[in-house]
Amino acid sequence: MSQIEIKVPTVGESITEVTIGSWVKKDGDSVKRDEVICSLDSDKASFDVVSEADGVLRVKAQEGDVLPIGGLICVIETSVEVASAPASAPAPVTSTPAPVAVASVAPATAAKVVEMKVPTVGESVTEVTIASWNKKDGDTVQLDEVLCELESDKATFELPAEAAGVLRIVAEAGSTLSIGAVICKIEVGAGSAAAPAPVAEAPQSNGQVVSANASNDSYAAGHPSPAAAKILAEKGIDPASVAGSGVGGRLTKEDAIAAQPKAAPTATPVEQPKAPVAPPVAPAPAPKAADARGQRRVKMTSLRKTIARRLVAVKNETAMLTTFNEVDMKPIMDLRAKYKDKFKEKHGVGLGFMSFFTRACAVALQEFPVVNAFIDGDEVVYNDFSDISIAVSTERGLVVPVVRNAEKMTFSQIEKEIIRLAGLARDNKLTIDQMQGGTFTITNGGIFGSMLSTPIINAPQAAILGMHNIVERAVVVNGEIVIRPIMYVALSYDHRTIDGRDSVSFLVRVKQLLEDPTRLLLEV
Amino acid sequence: MQYDVIVIGSGPGGYICAIRCAQLGLKTAIIEKYKTLGGTCLNVGCIPSKALLDSSEHYYNASHTFAEHGIQLENLKVDLAQMIARKSEVVNQVCKGVEFLMKKNKIDVYQGLGSFVDKNTVKVTKEGGDIEMITSKNIVIATGSKPSSLPGVTIDKKRIITSTEALQLNEIPKHLIVIGAGVIGAELGSVYARIGAKVSFVEYASAMIPTMDATMGKELQRTVKKLGADFYFSHKVKTVENTGDEVIVTAENPKGELVTFTGDYCLMSVGRKPYTDGLALENAGLAADQRGKIEVDEHTLQTKVPNIYAIGDVIRGAMLAHKAEEEGVFVAETIVGQKPHINYLLIPNVVYTWPEVAGVGYTEDELKAKGIAYKTGSFPFKALGRARASMDIDGTVKVLAHKETDEILGAHIIGPRAADMIAEAVVAMEYRASAEDVSRMSHAHPTYTEAFKEACLAATGNRALNA
């Protein structure tokens, strides 16, 4: 048996740490080469980690752990016997534990005690607090069952049992422990013969419990039925993130209908009903009752936590200021009305507002290079190109893919690129490369109805343009009051490098280019 | 006219796609070159061949097994003209049914040859030469396939015939030479063997139905042999010649010697090729590949022109009516933004001989090639009460399951109503059932499907109860 260590790969120059988003495979599972085993979140994107070999997975970092680049994620134990089978075989791995095996293996190694310690959860975290115990001292616990919840200044995470056996709690809830301190002990073997029983799954009918397949850990766990597969695909939910209530953990149509995108990925699997005679439908999630004044606690996803942290950091670390102006959208709307069909016919994409705004910003950025610059230590880095980040709202949170060299692109190229990037964003397929390196950002709160806002800079960039919705306003043109479609625009900027003169002039220039788009053509 | 979807071709892929589009609220048109709707399947494929298969099977049973049942018949003979006429009536009724479905779903039917003008416009050239232009946001190519031939062999449709002609012969061949012992050859060869023709199969591969599990080919050969058919495997056909009253087939045998076969009809059943003639694909920016197939995106069935989709026999995968149907529904749902599901591994393969052959999932050879550890369980129909009672004792059920997990990976059935029984395997496998799961479900007794349960028991731990 040999071991292959899987470490956090280098994922982009500005990224120094990643968070373990979710494990697709469990500790002890057989995995195949190139099979996805877990997902990592960084502040920019999520990506999948694939197994580098066939073998048995040994998880070294838990969901929510923050690891530096190069940090150890897991170990794959490749068994020598497997070598005889061709590589593509779906793991006739012998050496390990079909889930059923756990109980029977245990008694053989009885009386062994596993000490569980506070895991390393990120380089800057030195201590954690025990938020709550899910199990009581003396309880029988299963491998991977969540024992307690730990909190650090960065994140909350769950501590799964490293072995099956009887729990002996060392540190009580509320106590603060340093990394490496003992939290609890598990007496492996003691009483574990009875271990599988307390989970008592409320089976469909009595008398069938004997079947090994009743375990939720069967090979088919998480396999969606055809109808469930369709529903999940349409909701954009990875079947691996849904708990199956069907035989052997299969995903039923009902599971798929009830599944919520990315809500509490591994919420503790079904609080055990008091009476084991619970009705068969016990595990139904059903937070439906409309009139109940209920509360729900849903753990923040790693991405959401990172967004939160970064937004606060930007507010604290920059001298952010916002300037406003208004744009008469009539010329653009007239132009669109006139050429919309021809444009679509010729280029195969619609002529939207985004191409006008992107072009206008790209031109203005060339004229006011400081708005397109960023601070690096004691230096200001100026960019000769306009790589414009476009904020896209997805179900997972805000992402900002970059339209590169916008200053050289035509309207149709910009529209196509935005559609392409937004599509990737919706499908969760954006790569880190596609999201980093932007020099300026455009965000459009208008699509949700916002009239005025002060957007927060997308650090390390120095400025962001906020678009808003278009409303009819009475304005004075050539001494006459007329009704015009007006959009308020906002430019938030980092006052440390950009002076009021530049920021205001920049925004005025954008306004000019939008109110008279021919200027874009004539470059005046 | 402006449509949301135009479907070109009204076979089982095309007409099902059109119905699903209409159900989803899309304004839909369908174009058919031939006078009747339904394509190959309804007109010259599945339906008429099944009609003749059943007729010939009744005759065969009447002449061979009725006496044993205690039914005496005298002067039994085949009225081929009536047999063909009944077949035509069946086809007629089914095609009318499709016409009704088009009306019911408010689908506009254009009769004529559809060809692309550009990626959104299709020209319909009617029989008299009249032309009509229709445009659509989306277009689905569902033009199916045609029988193919061997290089150097010309099909004259008189003595050297394809499946199409074999469905309307006006005499029973004395000696029918069938080139190709695949699905179509096996089906039509057995039709004529049952009603008295001498049938010789000349096949390039080393067994019947070579794409299916090897056990099935061997079993099928055994039962077709009982009809008096001869088999010449590993024979490479060189020439086929119509001399007027006879056909002479020359082939190279495995030893490299030339052998000749003389018969009065030769059925070319060496497969089918995608049919895109007259579509003017180039006007839409498309082209067929060397084998005549249209390339599509694996996940969406879109061609490289995004608003044009292709389904069924013109794209990759098995040329099966039910595969085309699934793809038709798939495309319709994809167009409206849904994300439908097709598991190509679980599209069953069927041969409608008697006994029927049906298979789904991996074959034993495929599992070996993939290095997947598996176990098998078989159950012969002769051990089944129902099969005994009905005198349908030929055949067997073979279940392949994963060695460790017991998951069913393949099911192969040769036996009575295998084509219907395979559905149980498909359902089980869609849900990734283990062999034990199936063997713990109640099966009515006495039925043929008990054989599937018994085979699963055999796979689970060699626990078949009636073997």
Q: What's the CATH number of domain A318-522, 3.40.1010.10, 3.30.559.10, 3.40.50.410, 3.40.50.1820?
A: 3.30.559.10
Determine which of A280-289, B250-259, B319-328 has the lowest per-residue pLDDT on average.
A280-289
Model pLDDT for residues B32-50, shown as the tens digit of each residue: 999 999 999 999 999 999 9
- Residue A397 — very low, low, confident or very high, per pLDDT cuts 50/70/90? confident
Domains A125-187 and A318-522 share a fold: no
Confidence of residue A181 (pLDDT cuts 50, 70, 90): confident
Span B1-37, pLDDT tens digits: 799 999 999 999 999 999 999 999 999 999 999 999 9
* Domains annotated on chain B, with CATH: 2-146+273-344 (3.50.50.60), 160-270 (3.50.50.60), 355-459 (3.30.390.30)
Report yes or no: B326 and B342 within 8 Å, Cβ to Cβ.
yes
Q: Can you give the pLDDT at residue A305?
A: 78
Give me the pLDDT at residue A108, please: 39
A412 min Cα distance to partner chain B (Å): 18
Chain B positions touching A87 (Cβ under 8 A) are 371
Backbone angles phi, psi at A134, to 5 degrees: -85, -20
- Token pair of A318, please? 């920059």
Find the mean pLDDT for residues B136-144: 97
Q: Is A62 exposed, middle or buried (0-12, 13-18, 19+ CB in 10 A)?
A: middle
Does residue B366 belong to the interface with chain A, where contact is any CB pair within 8 Å?
Answer: no
Instruction: Identify the band that residue A107 occupies on the pLDDT scale cut at 50, 70 and 90.
Output: very low
Cβ neighbours of residue B361 closer than 8 Å, sequence gap 6 or more: B345, B346, B400, B408, B409, B410, B411, B425, B429
Judged by DSSP in three states, B115 sits in: strand
Hey, what amino acid is at A518? T
Select the residue of B370, B402, B432 nearest A250 (Cβ to Cβ). Answer: B432
A170–chain B nearest CA distance, Å: 39
How confident is the model at residue A81, as a pLDDT? 43
Type of residue numbered B131:
I
Chain centroid to CA A293: how far? 29
What's the average model confidence in pLDDT over A35-63? Answer: 82
pLDDT score recorded for residue A239: 86
Tokens 């007329």: give the residue: A482
B2 CB near a chain A CB, below 8 Å?
no
Which residues of chain B neighbour A86 with C-beta distances below 8 Å?
370-371
Predicted pLDDT of residue A1: 62
The 10s digit of each residue's pLDDT in B53-101 is 999 999 999 999 999 999 999 999 999 999 999 999 999 999 999 999 9
pLDDT of residue A6: 87
What is the β-pairing status of strands A55-59 and A30-31?
antiparallel
Question: For residue A36, is pLDDT > 50?
Answer: yes
**% pLDDT > 70, chain A:** 79
User: Distance between CA B189 and CA B232 in Å, rounded?
Assistant: 14
Cα gap B93→B87, rounded to integer Å: 10
Query: Which of A211, A220, A229 is opposite residue B341, by nearest beta carbon?
Result: A229
Please tell me whether B186 is known to bind a ligand.
Answer: yes
Query: How high is the pLDDT of residue A405?
Result: 92
**Coil/strand/helix, residue A27:** coil
B70 at interface of A, judged by CB pairs closer than 8 A: no
CA A230 – CA A236 distance, rounded (Å): 10
Interface test with B, best of A230, A235, A237, A251 (most B CBs within 10 A): A230
pLDDT of residue A439: 94
CA distance A249 to A242: 10
Residue A268 pLDDT class (50, 70, 90 cuts): very low
Given a cut of 60, whether residue A91 has pLDDT beyond it is: no
**Which residues of A are known catalytic residues?**
495, 499
Query: Is the per-residue pLDDT at A244 higher than 50?
Result: yes
Binary contact (B371, A88; C-beta < 8 A): yes
**Residue A85 above 80 pLDDT?**
no
CA dist A6 and A375 (Å) reads 35
pLDDT at residue A41, as a whole number? 81
Hey, are the CB atoms on B371 and A250 less than 8 Å from each other? no
Contact A214, A203 (CB under 8 A): yes
Residue A249 DSSP symbol: G
Q: What is the mean pLDDT of residues A67-84?
A: 72
State pLDDT tens for residues A419-476: 999 888 887 778 777 888 899 999 998 888 899 999 999 988 999 999 999 999 999 9
In CATH, the number for domain A3-77 is: 2.40.50.100
Write down the residue that tokens 């203005």 correspond to: A364
Residues of B assigned a catalytic role:
445
* Residue A23, pLDDT above cutoff 50: yes
State yes or no: pLDDT of A287 exceeds 60. Answer: no
Segment among A55-59, A269-273, A497-501, B342-346 with least mean pLDDT = A269-273
Instruction: Give residue B49's pLDDT.
Output: 94
Report whether B411 contacts B361 (CB < 8 A).
Answer: yes
CB contact under 8 A, A92 and B440: no
Tell me the DSSP string of A259-304: --TTSSTT--S-PPPSSTT--TTTT------TT-------PPPHHH
Q: In the structure, what pLDDT confidence band is assigned to residue B156 with cuts at 50, 70 and 90? A: very high
The pLDDT tens digits for B244-288 are 999 999 999 999 999 999 999 999 999 999 999 999 999 999 999
Residue of chain B whose Cα is closest to the Cα of A219: B405
Q: Please, which residues bridge with residue B177 across strands? A: B200, B266
* The two three-digit tokens of residue B338, written as one number: 């849904």
Q: pTM here?
A: 0.56
CB atoms B430 and A247 under 8 Å: no
A377 touches chain B (CB under 8 A): no
Class of domain A125-187: mainly beta
d(CA A389, CA A392): 9
Using only C-alpha atoms, what is the Rg of chain B?
A: 23
The residue with greater pLDDT, B382 or B464, is B382
Average pLDDT of the segment spanning A281-288: 41
Chain center to CA of A145? 24
CB-defined contacts A:B, below 8 A: 56
Q: Please tell me which residue of chain B has the smallest CA distance to A217.
A: B405
Alpha helices by DSSP H, A46-183: 101-108
Q: Residue B21: what pLDDT? A: 97
Region A213-231 average pLDDT: 76
Most confident region among A8-12, A92-96, A120-124, B122-126 by mean pLDDT: B122-126
Q: How far apart are CA A52 and CA A31, in angstroms?
A: 9
Residue A221 has pLDDT above 60, yes or no: yes
- ipTM entry: 0.78
Give the N- to C-terminal CA distance of chain B in Å, as an integer.
Answer: 64
Q: Is the peptide bond before B446 cis (omega within 30 degrees of 0)?
A: yes
Q: Greater confidence, B264 or A213?
A: B264
Q: Is the pLDDT of residue A124 over 90?
A: no
User: Per mean pLDDT, which range of A17-21, B160-164, B377-381 is the poorest?
Assistant: A17-21
Query: Percent of chain B scored above 70 by pLDDT?
Result: 100
B289 among annotated binding-site residues: no
User: pLDDT value at position A264?
Assistant: 39
Mean pLDDT confidence for A477-482 = 92
pLDDT mean over B352-379: 95
Interface test mutation site (partner B, options A247, A255, A345, A429, max chain B beta carbons within 10 A): A247
* A185-194 tens-digit pLDDT: 888 865 444 3
Say if strands A176-178 and A127-133 run parallel, antiparallel, or are unpaired.
antiparallel
Say whether B372 and A92 touch across the interface (CB within 8 A).
Answer: yes
> Whole-number mean pLDDT of chain A?
78
Six token digits for residue A402? 């970059």
Structure confidence at residue B220 (pLDDT): 95
Q: What is the mean pLDDT of chain B?
A: 94
Going from N- to C-terminal start, the domains of chain A cover 3-77, 125-187, 318-522
CB contact under 8 A, B437 and A247: yes
Give, in degrees to the nearest 5, the angle at Cα B161 between B158 and B165: 85
Nearest in space to B167 (alpha carbons), one of B83, B36, B40, B49: B49
Q: Which of helix, strand or coil describes residue A382?
A: coil
Q: Does B346 touch chain A (CB under 8 A)?
A: no
Residue A226 contacts B, CB cutoff 8 Å: yes
Q: How confident is the model at residue B359 (pLDDT cuts 50, 70, 90)?
A: very high
